[in-house]
């Protein structure tokens, strides 16, 4: 019982001193990051600053050279990506990667069947009901039986996000879900991601759309050239000199 | 239809098929049917890794030969009854399949295909130089004089065994396809990284798929030495097994268990007819021509074409 209470008070995600090199290039240099349960964190930084590399290290698709990744107090550094998803750590891809031979609905059934089942027991009929429910949330319900390869870019991004949600995560990492979307579509996705807060889901939002980042985030972290240069309250972070310099130059 | 229902029906019709064909007097029917059935198993088995999972295996002949040569080895060493040989060959090929499954860790696409082809060449060389199983000279396997179950000739027994093994292959393929495993394999085929990040244990599923696929292909080869009474490496490792087990699912359709069945029946029958009416040298040419036709005109095979037609009608 005491152990259970301890994990509740512990941070949801704890990235400590993670370093990742590609050959001689240092993509991440001793990066620390904390995410509390239910927190909404914005992760920003110029192109090539290591945001996606950090996501990959957290999700397990890349192994960092050093440092540790702990989820709910447990070291997950050696776990395969699919194990991490099952523990409650889901991510969406920057470039949508739908299962092209499947319908939109079936795309969601995969994480529901393989990942979400570890969290909540779902019966056979419940899986497609739940998939449909998520599609309604993201506004893809009317396309549930369409083939995923025929979707528009916007719908593919929604599907990408929906598939991550279908894993029933405790932490969802959204990797540039809004790039190229119109203002109203950005708002749609913001509503969606904010809705996850009510379900107690923490979100790391990686985004270039600053309006969305400022509106969404409770806290903002800034990566520049593989180092975290700022972490804190959104307003104060974006007004700091080094952040402005990194984004706009000298 | 539930898998249990399907299995019951398939095995029942296999028994009926095996029994009813005893009324056929023409012995050529049995050897022709044996060949077609053998191709149904090979195509169905290949499709589990190639069609469901998306890993193209060019080494089907190696698995087939492992099954065949495991029978030759046991024949020489212990001479156990036929069912034991079938089981042993299936297991041996399954182990080889597991090894190939580990190849998927580092290789995919063309590289995986080439690796499986290389595997076939390596095993071929190994068997050619292995004197105990006959080496390059080949080995004679005598069919037992007494045929059980009151069957008239040994080929009838082999044919019946083949019918049952075909039924087993179809039941296994369909069970995999309709289960959560099949959906996981489809996810791997579409996008392996996305599948892994959706919680699919990709390595475990690939190992499973490669093992089952290999085991079934090996099973198809276990009765081969008895069928021909003589096995040589170039017969057991024949290119036609590798080519046909790819061509048949491709022509029939790779998305479901029905595709390889249709492709194998169609292509296998055509080859048998051509062999008798024109010449046996034309076999692979016909496969090649049909393959080119299908890849250009119906890339998703006959079943893909049927599905598209059904979808159009529904609208």
Q: Is position A50 within any domain?
A: yes
Q: Is position A127 within any domain?
A: no
How confident is the model at residue A118, as a pLDDT?
A: 66
Q: Do A82 and B196 touch (CB under 8 A)?
A: yes
For residue A5, pLDDT over 60 is answered with no
How confident is the model at residue A7, as a pLDDT?
A: 47
What is the chain B residue with the closest CA to A94? B194
Buried b (16+ CB within 10 A) or exposed e, A61-85: bbebeebebbbbeeebbebbbbbbb
B219 in helix, strand or coil?
helix
Distance, CA of B17 to CA of B9 (rounded, Å): 12
Contacts of B227 (CB under 8 A, 6+ apart): B31, B34, B155, B158
pLDDT category, A111, cuts 50, 70, 90? very high
Distance, CA of B125 to CA of A147 (rounded, Å): 46
Distance, CA of A236 to CA of A71 (rounded, Å): 28
Q: Is position A123 within any domain?
A: no
Average pLDDT, chain A: 85
Give the CATH number of the domain where residue A12 resides. Answer: 3.40.50.300
Per CB-CB distance under 8 Å, the chain B contacts of A150 are none
Chain centre to alpha carbon of residue B135: 24
Distances (CA, A) of A21 to A25, A30, A175, A221: 6, 11, 21, 21
**Strand pairing of A66-71 and A74-75?**
antiparallel
User: How does pLDDT run across B214-239, given as a tens digit for each residue?
Assistant: 999 999 999 999 999 999 999 999 88
For residue A1, pLDDT over 60 is answered with no
For residue A94, pLDDT over 60 is answered with yes
Shortest Cα–Cα distance, B102 to chain A (Å) = 16
Q: Do A81 and B186 touch (CB under 8 A)?
A: no
Q: Do A114 and B200 touch (CB under 8 A)?
A: yes
What is the chain A residue with the closest CA to B187? A99
Total domains, chain A: 1
Q: Do A102 and B198 touch (CB under 8 A)?
A: no
Domain that holds residue A70: 1-77+171-185+201-250
Distance, CA of B282 to CA of B278 (rounded, Å): 8
At A206, which helix (H) or strand (E)?
Answer: strand A202-206
User: How does pLDDT run across B158-186, given as a tens digit for each residue?
Assistant: 999 999 999 999 999 999 999 999 999 99
What mean pLDDT is predicted for residues A120-125? Answer: 72
Among B181, B190, B194, B198, the residue to mutate for chain A (most A Cβ within 10 A): B198
What mean pLDDT is predicted for residues A211-239? Answer: 86
What is the chain A residue with the closest CA to B201? A82
How confident is the model at residue A249, as a pLDDT?
A: 65
B231 in helix, strand or coil?
strand
Spans of chain B below 50 pLDDT: none
Distance, CA of A170 to CA of A90 (rounded, Å): 8
How confident is the model at residue A250, as a pLDDT?
A: 57
Q: Is position A8 within any domain?
A: yes
Least confident residue range of A69-73, A83-87, A124-128, B140-144: A124-128
Per CB-CB distance under 8 Å, the chain B contacts of A113 are 180, 183
Smallest CA-to-CA distance from B194 within A193, A56, A92, A154 is with A92
For residue A6, pLDDT over 70 is answered with no
Does B84 or A73 have the greater pLDDT score? B84
User: How does pLDDT run across A133-157, given as a tens digit for each residue?
Assistant: 889 888 888 988 888 888 888 888 8
Does B226 or A123 have the greater pLDDT score? B226
Residues B179 and B212: beta-carbon distance below 8 Å = no
Q: Is position A130 within any domain?
A: no
Size of interface A-B (CB pairs under 8 A): 73
Any CB–CB contact under 8 A between B307 and chain A?
no
Any CB–CB contact under 8 A between B191 and chain A?
yes
Q: What is the pTM of this model?
A: 0.89
Q: Do B203 and A102 touch (CB under 8 A)?
A: no
**Residues of chain A above pLDDT 70, percent:** 94
What mean pLDDT is predicted for residues A218-237? Answer: 86
192-231 in chain B: CB under 8 A from chain A:
193-203
How confident is the model at residue A99, as a pLDDT?
A: 93
How confident is the model at residue A9, as a pLDDT?
A: 62
Q: Is position A134 within any domain?
A: no
* Chain A positions touching chain B (beta carbons under 8 Å): 59, 61, 80-82, 85-86, 90-91, 93, 97-102, 106, 109-111, 113-116, 118, 163, 166-167
């Amino acid at each position: 019982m005491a152990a259970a209470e301890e994990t509740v008070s512990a941070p949801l995600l704890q990235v400590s001193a993670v370093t990742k090199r590609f050959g001689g290039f240092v993509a991440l240099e001793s990066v620390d990051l904390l995410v509390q349960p239910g927190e909404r964190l914005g992760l920003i930084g110029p192109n090539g600053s290591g945001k996606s590399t950090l996501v990959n290290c957290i999700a397990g698709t890349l192994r960092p050279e050093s440092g540790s990744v702990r989820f709910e107090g447990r070291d997950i550094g050696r776990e395969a990506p699919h194990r991490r998803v099952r523990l409650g750590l889901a991510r969406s891809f920057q470039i949508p990667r739908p299962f092209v031979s499947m319908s939109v609905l079936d795309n969601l059934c995969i994480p529901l069947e393989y990942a979400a089942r570890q969290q909540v027991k779902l019966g056979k009929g419940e899986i497609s009901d739940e998939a449909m429910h998520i599609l309604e949330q993201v506004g893809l319900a009317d396309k549930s039986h369409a083939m995923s390869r025929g979707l528009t870019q916007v719908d593919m991004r929604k599907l990408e996000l929906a598939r991550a949600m279908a894993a029933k995560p405790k932490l969802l990492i959204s990797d540039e879900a809004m790039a190229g979307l119109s203002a109203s579509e950005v708002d749609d996705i913001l509503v969606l991601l904010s809705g996850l807060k009510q379900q107690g889901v923490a979100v790391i939002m990686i985004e270039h759309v600053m309006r969305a980042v400022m509106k969404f985030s409770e806290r903002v972290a800034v990566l520049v050239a593989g180092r975290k240069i700022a972490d804190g309250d959104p307003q104060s972070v974006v007004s700091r000199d080094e952040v402005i310099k990194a984004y706009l130059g000298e | 239809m539930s898998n249990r229902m399907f299995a019951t029906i398939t095995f029942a019709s296999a028994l009926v098929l095996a029994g009813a064909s005893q009324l056929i007097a023409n012995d050529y029917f049995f050897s022709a049917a044996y060949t077609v059935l053998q191709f149904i198993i090979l195509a169905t088995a290949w499709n589990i890794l190639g069609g469901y999972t998306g890993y193209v295996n060019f080494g089907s002949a190696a698995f087939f030969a492992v099954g065949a040569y495991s029978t030759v080895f046991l024949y020489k060493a212990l001479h156990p009854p036929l069912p034991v040989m079938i089981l042993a060959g299936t297991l041996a090929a399954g182990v080889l399949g597991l090894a190939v499954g580990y190849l998927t860790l580092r290789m995919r696409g063309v590289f995986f295909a080439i690796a499986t082809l290389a595997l076939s060449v390596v095993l071929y060389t190994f068997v050619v130089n292995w004197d105990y199983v006959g080496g390059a000279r080949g080995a004679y396997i005598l069919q037992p004089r007494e045929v059980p179950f009151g069957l008239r000739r040994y080929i009838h027994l082999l044919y019946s065994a083949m019918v049952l093994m075909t039924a087993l292959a179809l039941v296994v393929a369909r069970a995999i396809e309709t289960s959560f495993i099949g959906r996981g394999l489809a996810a791997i085929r579409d996008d392996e990284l996305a599948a892994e990040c959706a919680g699919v244990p990709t390595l475990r599923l690939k190992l499973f798929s490669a093992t089952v696929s290999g085991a079934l292909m090996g099973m198809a080869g276990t009765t081969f030495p008895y069928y021909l009474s003589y096995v040589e490496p170039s017969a057991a490792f024949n290119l036609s097994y590798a080519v046909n087990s790819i061509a048949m699912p491709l022509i029939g359709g790779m998305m479901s268990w029905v595709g390889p069945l249709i492709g194998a029946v169609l292509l296998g029958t055509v080859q048998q007819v051509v062999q008798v009416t024109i010449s046996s040298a034309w076999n692979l040419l016909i496969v090649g021509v049909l393959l080119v036709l299908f890849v250009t005109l119906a890339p998703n095979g006959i079943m893909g074409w049927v599905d598209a037609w059904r979808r159009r009608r529904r609208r």
